[in-house]
A and B are shown apart, each in its own frame.
Chain A
Amino acid sequence: MSEILLSAENVSLTYKTRVGGFKWFEHKALNDISFALKRGDKLGILGRNGSGKSTLLRILAGIVPPTSGSVICTPGVKRSLLTLGLGFRQDLSGRDNALLSAMLQGYRRRDAKARLEEIKEFSMLGDFFERPLFTYSSGMRSRLGFSTALYTGIDILLIDEALSVGDATFRERAQNALEQKLGGDQSLVFVSHMPGQMAKLCDRVIWLEGGVVRMAGDVAEVSEQYELPAEPMRE
């Protein structure tokens, strides 16, 4: 049996948000979630808007602590949230943004610089790579984001809807690159509201709804249930 890299035990999270003056609003975003991720596992988290999937990813990445329960990550395991356009700034060139973003993902300056040509080539941005970001179309921006984010060396990739980027040609390229990266021991947690993407990348799916696990299991099974009409959103 392969080792467990990351496990969530009875994770709950309550947002306490201030809504003006001394008024507070409480919202239970996650309620009693448990699962384990082994080396090489490809786990999908499926859910509609506001189902708590991005919040869960944030907790798994170790960015925020859960209100109760715990997330246990095996010491020495590197996990990272693959985020499109991490720390991008409108008034810097694609090259500068790529450098900044790669360094935020944990690269040293010289390593990040060494990757810039690869990123430029993969993004297919050509001369635009040297121009400021505000001259980009939204598709170009996501190309740059994806190309930059892809170049990381970590054990668990946590991805939030990464594949809905760019035009058809680039999407295929992105998909292939990701599949290549995911071969072998790479573990993955992939968050999306579209079961179609899940089928290509994941072997196990958790369906979140209103902060609780509605269903867990094989991709095809869960997708079938998920595609039935949605219930109205509840508090």
Chain B
Amino acid sequence: MLSDNAPLLSLNGLSACIGRQTVLEDVGFTLSNGQCLAVVGGSGAGKSTLLRLILGLRKPAVPVAGHLCFDGHDYALSKASSGKPMGIAYVPQSPAHGFDPLRRLRWQWQQLQRLLGKHAAGGEVLDALGLPVLAKAFPHEWSRGMQQRLLVAMALLEQPKMLILDEPTSALDPLIAAQVLTEVQRVAQECDIAVMMVTHDLALAAQFADQIAILHQGHMVQTGPAQQVLTAPSCDYAAELVAHRYWQQENPESLAAE
């Protein structure tokens, strides 16, 4: 679904360090409306740092250079943080940390509605994700899959142009993860929302993403359309990731067919 217009998001020359250690070096990519980009990399590759910097959170990494252009607005990442760019919504990694355990779900949802000034839009978003009306339930009374879907709903409530998903499946079992991501994909396509997901799972990225960017030790070693990355990995690390992407599944075709 490549758009002809200028990209929704373009990131150029992002470098950052934590202390004296460089964690990201000259990272950049572009993302168009409605596209899905997966940033794939192992632990410590700099995925979380990248994500936090795009969200305008400087701690704990300090960006030394970089330029972000989102939806026509420029953000110089080396300057003091200007907060989260308007139109980007964030879906936390795990429902276990995504909800305040002491607050009822409805309270948390209504607080978000107040913050965003979106009192009217709530019902449709819940409907779109197949969620019931929020009763007096506490977070733990819902299943993980429903909690994760509600986290997505909370992000969508903002009516964003782009969703950022942090390790969307690491807290879920594979089936639920696939269901949640399918929902996200469907809603994103309906509403023309770009999705950037950060994951260590290349198989998952291959299934859902149009574009794949492979991050290795702070460098973006390969970016490109998903098929191209899978069929023609550009370096040893990418090749290894591609080769071992199905290490959990005995029969990769069964997953691909889903």
| Co-assembled chains A and B | no
Q: Which residues of A contact B (CB under 8 A)?
A: none
